[in-house]
Amino acid sequence: MKKNIKTLYIVTIIAILTFLGMQVYWLYGRYEYSLREYEHHAEAVIADVLVEYNKERDKKGVGQINTSYSLSHGVDSIGNASRKVTVSSSVLNGRKLLGINEERNLTDEEIERLVEIVTDSLQHVEEKKLSVDASTAPSDGIAWAAMRNFDLEVKSPFTIQGVDSLLKNENINAEISLTITDSLMWKPIAFGHESLINPLFKVISPYSELERKAVVIECRIPTADIFRELSWTLVLAFVLSLFLSVCLIWQISTIVKLSRLDKMRNSFITTMIHELKRPISTLKMCMSGLGSERMLEDAVVRTELLTETRNALDNLSAYFSKLRDITFNNVEQIPLNIQNVNLHDLFDTVARATVHPSGKTVIIKNNIDTEFIVSADRSHLYNILNNLVENAIKYSGSEVEINASATESVGFVELMVNDNGNGIPSGDLKHIFQRFYRGKASAGEQPGMGLGLSYVKLLVEAHGGHISVDSFEGIGSCFTIKLPQ
């Protein structure tokens, strides 16, 4: 059984850990998915923003005078198909002519003035020409678009501030920088997050492909928002894990409790058989003695046999009443016959009836006031004291001194029975009043069923009282009973 429980423990712990591991893995997957979802969304927004920004630039660029595009196909030196683009933009830099530096659309008046200046002189025309091998472009369409972007860059240069304000409008906070790429780049490239903590997402998008000019947009993924989105999933996963763990642990502790009860029941049955055998064999012996005429003739032997028989029957009867009382679940079910009892005299009776084991010195001191009266059930109080004294003798060495004393306060009396015996190990202390519990060290050495103290507690509580114990291993124990008066 012990081995089975150990295996069950291990299997349960593995099950809990596996479940927790799966939960963590699942949550990790959900988090990853949310990060990627955010990245896709941001990538689409950035693409839209760049298109929007190019439109704005197109509008802002003033007075394009002349642009020529040409795209030719050929074959390179090793026989591969090649594509060549040539673009030439002659753009009137109207802003320069008007002396305007800020980024804004020109007013009607400014445009009018500009036309005058242009008409006057075409000296301020800026011309830019480029011829690039565009063989790597995925299609002619992309090569044409690159030429138009070159033209746009001449007309209205790409600025960080322009993109930044548009991105901010879309709630994307990003670090933006402009760069020159090592080779021709035709399409934007997105770089997903590498780390889960503080994840970063980066897009490099060419804005003037033929000049290898690109914008780098790097943004931090707002993990707080993602966690907020996942909060219900997280709470649910946590509650579920907790619930499952508690259920499994509870299940195991119930099994452990049941197995302990099973063990207790077995030891109880064994001890009960042992305890019952004693008076029965005494009775058997007495009966065979009473059956012998020769023995009956001897008056001393006859009296002895009758006393032994009575004692054995008394023991049996006391034993069964104890068993009956202990099976009451409710203390109120225990019948009480309350009367005034002289505690000093009662303890004397207990001390006199106590059997002193051979080879053991037992000193019992009655320090209770001779006139000390308590109202209680006499026979129950007798059983309580008897159990405490018997235990003090049982759980001690070759010599033991037992002291009984009592004090009276308003509304209750306090009765103390202390001994200088073995004492109770601190690990046992909180269990000794439980049914069938036996001290770890004493269980094997002394006879008993672990019912004595639970019986005492039951009787004390039936009187509305309370029992407690102070004990130190190797020094002794002191049981204190408080009874209401």
Q: Does 422 bind ligand ADP (CB under 6 A)?
A: yes
Q: Does 438 bind ligand ADP (CB under 6 A)?
A: yes
| CB-based closest residue to ligand ADP | 439
Residues contacting 191, CB < 8 A, separation 6+: 201, 202, 203, 204
Q: Which residues pair with 126 in a beta bridge?
A: 91
The residue among 205 and 396 lying less far from ligand ADP, judged by its C-beta, is 396
Q: Which of 420, 450, 458, 467 binds ligand ADP (CB under 6 A)?
A: 450
Determine contact, residues 447/271, Cβ cutoff 8 Å: yes
Give the residue among 64, 60, 50 at the shortest CA–CA distance from 145.
50
Distance in Å, CB of 293 to ligand ADP, minimum: 42
The residue among 279 and 423 lying less far from ligand ADP, judged by its C-beta, is 423
User: Do β-strands 361-366 and 213-220 pair in parallel, antiparallel, or remain unpaired?
Assistant: unpaired
Residues contacting 228, CB < 8 A, separation 6+: none
Distance in Å, CB of 474 to ligand ADP, minimum: 10
Q: Does 452 bind ligand ADP (CB under 6 A)?
A: yes
> Rule CB under 6 A: which of 367-396 touch ligand ADP?
391-392, 395
Q: Which residues pair with 205 in a beta bridge?
A: 215
Q: Which of 91, 166, 204, 424 binds ligand ADP (CB under 6 A)?
A: 424
Distance in Å, CB of 280 to ligand ADP, minimum: 20
- CA 45 – CA 222 distance, rounded (Å): 15
**Region near ligand ADP per CB under 6 A, out of 30-38, 116-124, 144-152, 452-460:** 452-460
The residue among 397 and 484 lying less far from ligand ADP, judged by its C-beta, is 397
- CA 279 – CA 287 distance, rounded (Å): 12
The residue among 221 and 456 lying less far from ligand ADP, judged by its C-beta, is 456
Alpha carbons within 13 angstroms on the beta-carbon side of residue 387 total: 25
The two structure tokens encoding residue 313: 């029957």
- CA 222 – CA 203 distance, rounded (Å): 16
Q: Which of 432, 458, 460, 462 binds ligand ADP (CB under 6 A)?
A: 432
The residue among 279 and 450 lying less far from ligand ADP, judged by its C-beta, is 450
Q: Does 465 bind ligand ADP (CB under 6 A)?
A: no
- CA 454 – CA 450 distance, rounded (Å): 8
Residue 57: strand, helix, or coil: helix
The residue among 372 and 479 lying less far from ligand ADP, judged by its C-beta, is 479
Give the residue among 209, 224, 194, 191 at the shortest CA–CA distance from 153.
209
The residue among 325 and 419 lying less far from ligand ADP, judged by its C-beta, is 419
Provide the binding-site residues for ligand ADP, judged by CB under 6 A. Answer: 391-392, 395, 419, 421-424, 428, 432, 437-439, 442-443, 448-454, 477
